[in-house]
Amino acid sequence: MSDIKDVEVKDGVDQETVDAVSKLSGTYKYGWNTEIEMDYAPKGVNTDIVKLISGKNNEPDWMTEWRLSAFARWEQIEEPTWAMVSYPEIDFQDIYYYARPKSMAEKPKSLDDVDPKLLETYKKLGIPLKEQMILAGVEGAEDAPAEGRKVAVDAVFDSVSVGTTFQKELEKAGVIFCSISEAIEKHPELVKKYLGTVVPPSDNFYATLNSAVFSDGSFVYVPPGVRCPMELSTYFRINAENTGQFERTLIIADKGSYVSYLEGCTAPKRDTAQLHAAVVEIIIEEDAEVKYSTVQNWYPGDENGVGGIYNFVTKRADCRGDRAKIMWTQVETGSAVTWKYPSCILRGNESQGEFYSIAIANNMQQADTGTKMVHLGKNTKSRIVSKGISAGKAQNTYRGLVSMHPKAKESRNYTQCDSLLIGDKCGAHTVPYIEVKNNSSRVEHEATTSKVDDEQLFYCRARGMDEEEAVALVVNGFCKEVLQALPMEFAMEAQALVAISLEGSVG
């Protein structure tokens, strides 16, 4: 929502439209708060808290040690300041690092025993009944009849995974999909082998903090040659106040396998900012393919920049084997501050990385996001399509790296980053780094910055659309290439989100 009062009414827009738009100010569909009794660890972070989190998850000693060494490292490093975002200093000792709904302590027998508040949350999120049962941990829920198309869901509520659906069916296919705490317990050999190999615990300030205090997250292992029978999805919600959410996702696609993974996130409206520092690691072996789609809709704060989520996320995929393929698609509409660069290490020969992104920043939002394409193997290909939209007083930055190493012969990159500005008080920035160290590779980078085309708007308006609808349509057209890359379920949601996020941006 832009500052409507400050925006001049343009020709052809009557005051009524402006007022109607103004009323929509700050609409955030997911802004409710569920009052659920929570177990908290004391505020702040220190070795005791790290040990406590590790203890709560019944982790083996090696895992506790791993966390402690990350914590020791974190204490020595400084918060990065290079991103084009500004926010008040974060007091890392004033955050709860562990919060868990009390009702999770005992397993409920049926939905009637489940904390109705928790169920209400799921309902508001639009999760089907059967999946609600499973997520609430109702015994025997797996056998209940399912409705419609299947998507396996792992829901992370504040710090802990509250339930994973369709586990049995996935097990039949050999796919392991569970919370990471469960994986550490049941599949320690896999976790030990892969955890921290893509994003090492010393990677960067937030990733290091995450390594020390992550409380839960999702784990996926797809065995060789298996095409995962359904879409996997993680749903993250920050509910408790003053809580940081530090989830860790580890996805391993073994040789010749395929998996599509969706991630969604929301948070209640709060007037204090909350921290979210996640790490996603993806390992892709020979001939395997992973699609990772995110619709990030954390609470963005109100139109004056009060509250909202600080979203400081490290996501990286390592194409280890030849012909491995990763596709990142992200729709970033939420968060007060976003700091996120899903990256691709193209190590295997002929491996491929793709990055499709829509980042929308409205009101006082700040987004600094992009990708890294590190070409190490021969004949590797990457493609970056980034669409940044700024409205209100928001700042939106694309920051990306394309690096062709000397051995990455005959490789190819194409980058397109377009920015759209709506209103004269926002900013759109592009900071690409291009490093080419061999001559048989081709690198192309294109970027444009423009405003919503008046002629297109006029055309839509002449066909009877109001200005708001017209802008939403033009912006959806601007984002088309990225929206098309999303799985069906997400594409519809994302399209609607694009329109909602821009509500009130037209003056």
Partner 1 sequence: MAIAKLKADATEARLAGVTLPDGAQWARAARGDALARVRAMGLPSKRDEYWKYTNPSDLTAVDAPSAALFDGGEAPLFGDKECLNIVFVDGVFDAQASDPLAGEGIEIMRLCDAMAADIHWAKDLYGVLETRGQVPVERPLAALNTALATDGVVIHATAKVAKPIHISYLHADETSDANLHNLVKVDAGAEVTLLETGPGAARFSTCLEVDIADTGAFHHVRTQGRDHERRTVTHCFARVGAESTFKSFTVTVNGVLTRNECVLDIIGDDAVAHVAGVCVGDGKDFHHDDTVFITHDALNGESRQVFKKVLRNGATGVFQGKILVKAGAQKTDGYQISQSLLLDEDAQFLAKPELEIYADDVACSHGSTSGAIDETALFYLRSRGVPVRVARNLLTLSFMAEALDEIADSALADELRDRLEGWLARHG
Q: Which residues bind partner 1 (CB under 8 A)?
A: 82, 84, 406, 419, 421-451
Nearest distance from C-beta of residue 326 to partner 1, angstroms: 23
- The dihedrals phi and psi of 253, each to the nearest 5 degrees, come to -105, 105
Work out how close the CB of 435 gets to partner 1 at its nearest, in angstroms, rounded to a whole number.
5
Distance CA 242, CA 342 (A): 26
User: What sign has the CA pseudo-torsion 479, 482, 484, 490?
Assistant: negative
Residue 386 Cβ vs partner 1, minimum distance, rounded to whole Å: 12
Q: Supply the minimum distance, in Å, between the C-beta of residue 437 and partner 1.
A: 5
Which residue type occupies 49? Answer: I
Residue among 52 and 436 whose Cβ is closer to partner 1: 436
- CB closer to partner 1 out of 307 and 400: 400
Query: Smaller CB distance to partner 1: residue 326 or 389?
Result: 389
Nearer to partner 1 (CB atom), residue 111 or residue 447: 447
Q: Which residues contact 26 (CB under 8 A, 6 or more apart)?
A: 1, 302, 303, 363
Q: Which is nearer to partner 1, 230 or 422 (CB)?
A: 422
Q: Which long-range contacts (CB under 8 A, 24 or more apart) does 148-151 make?
A: 149/489, 150/229, 150/230, 150/231, 151/230, 151/231, 151/232, 151/233, 151/262, 151/489
Strands 99-101 and 38-40: antiparallel
CB of 137 to partner 1, least distance (A): 49
Judged by beta carbon, residue 171 or residue 435, the one nearer partner 1 is 435
Reduced to 3 states (helix: H, G, I; strand: E, B; else coil), residue 46 is: coil
In angstroms, what is the minimal distance from the CB of 448 to partner 1?
A: 4
Choice between 149 and 451, CB closer to partner 1: 451
Question: Which segments of 84-150 are extended strands (E)?
Answer: 99-101
Q: Which two tokens stand for residue 166?
A: 């369709």
Q: How far is the CB of 430 from partner 1 (least distance, A)?
A: 4
Give dist(CA 185, CA 351) in Å, integer: 33
Residue closest to 20 by CA, chosen among 499, 506, 451: 506
Quote the least distance from Cβ 239 to partner 1, whole Å.
36
Distance CA 34, CA 10 (A): 41
Q: Which is nearer to partner 1, 147 or 444 (by Cβ)?
A: 444
Distance CA 357, CA 477 (A): 14
Looking at beta carbons only, is 37 or 454 nearer to partner 1? 454
Instruction: Give the type of residue at 131.
Output: E
Cα 373 from Cα 31, distance rounded (Å): 35
CB of 406 to partner 1, least distance (A): 8
H/E segment holding residue 417: strand 412-422
Collapsing DSSP to helix, strand or coil, 277 comes out as coil
- At 486, list the tokens: 């999303």
